[in-house]
Structures are given as C-alpha cells and as structure tokens.
Amino acid sequence: MLDAFGLSDAEPVTMSLGTEIWNQHHSPIGHQRCAQVYVSPALDGWTLVFGSASPDQHPRGIVEERDTYANILANEAVWRRVTRERCIDLSRRFGTAHFYFVSHGDSRTSWCIAEKGELVRCYDVSVPEEAVGELAAENGYLLPHEDTPLPEGWADDIEHTENPLDWQREWFRRYRRLKAELDIPDHCDADMIAEALSVHPGKIGPHTRVEGHGVIALTRCGREYGRPRTLLRSLTYRPAPDQPSIFDEDQT
C-alpha cells in the first residue's frame, strides 16, 4: 500500500495518534498538507488512507495563484480528475478502491468507486451533472444536490419574532413533520455511503476486525521539505463533544 502512494519512512502509530497527527497537518500552509499521510491497519479488510500523496496534491494543471473564484473552480476540476484517476489506478492493483469526502465547514461531499480498473460511480455535490454511474446504496435516499420535495410555500406563514431562533426552530419542526407525513427520504452523503459499502471512520469500535497496525509515512514533499512539526494536544485522542443544536430541545 505504501509504495502505491509513494510513501516511505513509515512509523507505527495507534489509530488515535495517527489521525491526530494527520489532523494537525491538515492545513493549506506550505507543504504541511501533503508532507505526511496516515495509513490505517486493515479494518474489516479495508485499509484507510488519510491525506494526499504529493502527486495528488500537486498535479498537472493546478493554478497556484488562487486569488480568484475562477482559479478555485479550475483547481477543483483538476482534483476531481485526480481523484478519478487515483481510484482507477488503485483498483487495477487492489481490485477495489473508494474515495470519500465530507466537508466539516459546509455541505460539500463526494464519493468515487472504482473496481478492476473501471469507474463504477463518481459523484460530487458541486457538479452533479458530471456524475458517473449509480449505486444500490443510494437507493431510498435523495442525493445531496436534490431539493426536498415539499409543498410550495410550506414555510411562508412562519411568524418572525424578535428572537430569530424562534423562526428557525419552527421552520425545523415543520420541515421534520412534513418529511415524515409525506414519507420524504433523507439525503445521503459520503459517510452514509462509506458505512454501507466499506468502513465508516467515525464508527470504528470493538466490533471492528483490526489486522496489522497503522503508520504515519512521508510523502515526496515530506522527504524534500522535511518532516513537519506537530504540537499534539495529548497522546490520547479524545474527540470533541458534539456541539448542542438549537433544535435538540424539541424533537416533535
């Protein structure tokens, strides 16, 4: 697996420490983002790779001066191409390769599935018109870009008060109630597809079969520019508690 991504200088780490080190480097500053990659042990037969190898982070066609919206869109198109090519190449070598992405800052999500050198499915919420194939795991769900088919004007009469949270809570209550009454499916995302087809990183536990051990390894950028410094918050990774939602107080 390491040579498939051009990795070297592997150091064994626990899953908690490996993901923590990778999270500390997930930054656009310099080559922090592409200097190291965390490779997990085999989890129920799947090996997870967190991070970007140097050829994936610096592919041909990338515009370095990203000071305009057009440049950002151009680079995103390049990385979508890189993702497809990487999945196809890995599937030729290992039989099957999956890519999953979920943004924690907005609603961006994507997934790409390749088998035996063929692209089976590729979906990105930003460009649904470029989607390839379909998956049985998506059946029964709305795709992320699809609007929830609610009646026109369903929220027009919700009263606005001095407290904007009142409107938000009522909007959410009505939205949830109408979805249930009209039997409207939920939207899927990369986490849900990963859980259905392979391994959900957030749901690894005592039930997960673990073989081997994970490693932190250097990419070409790491070898060229040096191993990045890491300030770990602790040796034992404790995920931050979920932030309370304004909607949690009422599940009606």
In a domain, residue 84? The reply is yes
In a domain, residue 245? The reply is no
In a domain, residue 252? The reply is no
Task: Kindly state the helix (H) or strand (E) to which residue 78 belongs, with its residue range.
Answer: helix 69-94
Between residues 171 and 59, the one the model is more confident about: 171
Based on the domain organization, do 67 and 122 belong to the same domain?
yes
**34-57 burial, b for 16+ CB within 10 Å, e for fewer?**
bbbbbbbbbbeebebbbbbbbbbb
Structure tokens belonging to residue 180: 């249930």
DSSP, res 148: P
In a domain, residue 134? The reply is yes
Per the structure, the complete domain to which residue 176 belongs is given by: 150-183
Based on the domain organization, do 217 and 164 belong to the same domain?
no
Based on the domain organization, do 112 and 167 belong to the same domain?
no
Query: What pLDDT does 89 receive?
Result: 95
Structure tokens belonging to residue 227: 């191993």
φ/ψ (deg, to 5) at 195: -65, -35
Contacts of 147 (CB under 8 A, 6+ apart): none
* C-alpha to C-alpha distance for 241 and 113, rounded to whole angstroms: 31
In a domain, residue 30? The reply is yes
Based on the domain organization, do 169 and 63 belong to the same domain?
no
Contacts of 27 (CB under 8 A, 6+ apart): 33
Based on the domain organization, do 214 and 110 belong to the same domain?
yes
87-132 pLDDT, tens digit each: 999 999 999 999 999 987 788 999 999 999 999 999 999 999 999 9
Query: What pLDDT does 137 receive?
Result: 96
Query: What pLDDT does 235 receive?
Result: 40
153-211 pLDDT, tens digit each: 999 999 988 888 999 999 999 999 999 999 999 999 999 999 999 999 888 889 999 99
Mean pLDDT over the full length of the chain: 85
pTM of the model: 0.82
Strand order in the sheet with 109-115: 96-102, 109-115, 118-124
At residue 53 the predicted structure's pLDDT band, cuts being 50, 70 and 90, is: confident
Based on the domain organization, do 96 and 34 belong to the same domain?
yes
Based on the domain organization, do 73 and 128 belong to the same domain?
yes
Based on the domain organization, do 65 and 80 belong to the same domain?
yes
